Structure 1
Amino acid sequence: MLELNFATSMNDAMSDTMIKENPFSSQPTTSAFTEESTYQAVCKSAVASAIFAVLGLSAFLAQMFMLLPILGIVFALLALKAIRAYPDELVGKGAAKFGLLLSAVCLIGSGAMHSFIYATEVPEGYRRISFAELKPSSRGTDAQGFPKRAAELDGEKVFIKGYVRPPSGKQYGLKSFIMVGDFGDCCFGGDPAITDVVAIKIQSDDTVNYGYGLRRIGGTFRLNPSTAASDEEEIPRVFYEIEADHVR
């Protein structure tokens, strides 16, 4: 009888061990439930907000990049809303707050800086103009077919901002170059219209190097009815020219 009881106890113990340790058992253990219930995913919007916030620092270099901190703020607010709604499933509140704070600093700081530059960048005695004013429009043209605005500016001191179109070969110490108003035409092989370019001829000792940065040019505007020859093969002639004495 004693031997029978001992054998029965051993069988029961082995059965319990096999149930607990059987890796093929279809019944999940309590620890598995615990691990699954505590799993949290990183909120993608929080990560995006942090990335756009860092990229938003470039807004201090050019106004066109001010869209980046705006996106950083939008993604940060979306992330905080999602994390608040699903606190047990999502993490990333710290990244979202970082993205929100840095994006706000970039947006407000760059906006204030560019506003100050805009208010003070035009030298005294110069008139601010834009490339849009030089395009043919519904305002009409003069007897020679030029925009009336361009004809009115002939001989005036003007101030204009744009990009240096890469010349053929020489890229440093430029005394004359073609300026365009669009970043794509400048740096990505665009095909600007003849009324979208201005020939710049520097009259001072200043020179310009080709680069992606925005240039600020001041000087006397000239309208060339018969067009003037250009050094660039891509743009064989130009209607507008500025004899520059202010280069930044």
Structure 2
Amino acid sequence: MHHLPRFRFSLLMVVVCALTVSLNGASAEDPQTRPKVEIRLSSAAQLAKGEINFDDLKFDIEKDGAFDESMWTERLKTINGKNVKLRGYILPASTYQDRGFKQFVLVRDNKECCFGPGAALYDCVFVNMVGDHTADFSTRPVTVEGKFVLDPETYKYPGGKGPRGATHMAVFRIEGVKVK
């Protein structure tokens, strides 16, 4: 029963973030005119130190497509359960305070483009700070340290289907111990 308030908060946070992105027109960009960005995976040395980036999290999935665990790459399976450092931005709509918060969404960039309907499922990571650890909001990039977890259950849309046929709001979680 003590998990119910946390679940309600997580669900509320997910709904607010999805609505924010949807209202900002995140899916209006034409994929044909979008500039191509070079994928830069972490090197073997970086992976050995737990240093990952959002390109390491990519997997094949259609935009707003249904997720299946078979889509996870070998790279994702390798970093699952490992302590990592991931750099990104705190999604402003995912937290309601400036200091001392325990949960937030880490996204690839700061344009609020990477969460909710129309966003790539692999461009967001839920962060749950563990123990006495907390985070403070920043508009600058942050590095989150903690245990990376492939999580196909926690962030499913209620009823299993979300906007445009998507099944999940997120599939990654970091059990955070430091944000800097």
TM-score where L is the length of structure 2:
0.54
Shift of residue 147 of structure 1? 2.4
Letter paired with 1:239 = V
Secondary structure, in 3 states, of the residue corresponding to 1:174? coil
What residue is the counterpart of 2:79 in the other structure? 153
Task: Return the letter of the residue paired with 2:50.
Answer: R
Picking from 137, 154, 169, the partner of 1:237 is 169
* Higher helix proportion (structure 1 or 2): 1
**Is 1:127–2:127 an aligned residue pair?**
no
* 1:190 Cα deviation from its structure 2 partner: 10
CA–CA distance in 1 between the matches of 2:131 and 2:69? 34
CA displacement at 1:228 relative to structure 2: 2.6
Gaps of 5+ in 1: 1-121
Number of the residue aligned with 2:89: 163
Within 2, Cα distance between the matches of 1:133 and 1:169?
25
Q: What secondary structure does 2:92 align onto?
A: coil
> How far apart in 2 are the matches of 1:199 and 1:169?
12
By relative contact order (CA 8 Å, sep 6+), the higher-ranking structure is 2
Equivalent residues in 2 for 1:187-202, closer than 5 Å = 192-202=119-129
Which segments of 5 or more consecutive residues in structure 2 lack a partner in the other structure? 1-45, 61-67
Does the residue aligned with 2:104 lie in a helix, a strand or coil? strand
**Once the 2 structures are TM-superposed, how far is the Cα of residue 192 of structure 1 from its aligned partner?**
3.2
Closer/same/farther in 2, CA of residues 149 and 169 from structure 1, 3 Å limit: closer
What amino acid does structure 2 have at the position aligned with 1:154? N
Say which SS state the counterpart of residue 144 (structure 1) adopts. Answer: helix
1:91-147 C-alpha deviation (Å, 9 max, x unpaired): xxxxxxxxxxxxxxxxxxxxxxxxxxxxxxx9xx8510000110116xxxx962112
Aligned pairs, number: 118
2:103 aligned with 1:176: yes
> What residue in structure 2 maps to residue 220 of structure 1?
147
Shift of 1:171: 2.7
Structure with max Cα Rg:
1
Relative to structure 1, the CA distance from residue 221 to residue 182 in structure 2 (aligned partners, 3 Å threshold; closer, same or farther) is same
For the aligned residue pairs, the C-alpha RMSD in angstroms reads 3.5
User: Is the 1:154–1:221 contact (alpha carbons within 8 Å) kept by the matching residues of 2?
Assistant: yes
- Distance in structure 1 (CA, Å) of the matches to 2:122 and 2:153: 13
Query: CA contact under 8 A between 2:95 and 2:103: conserved in structure 1?
Result: no
Provide closer, same or farther for how the CA distance between residues 208 and 144 of structure 1 changes in structure 2, counting only shifts above 3 A.
same
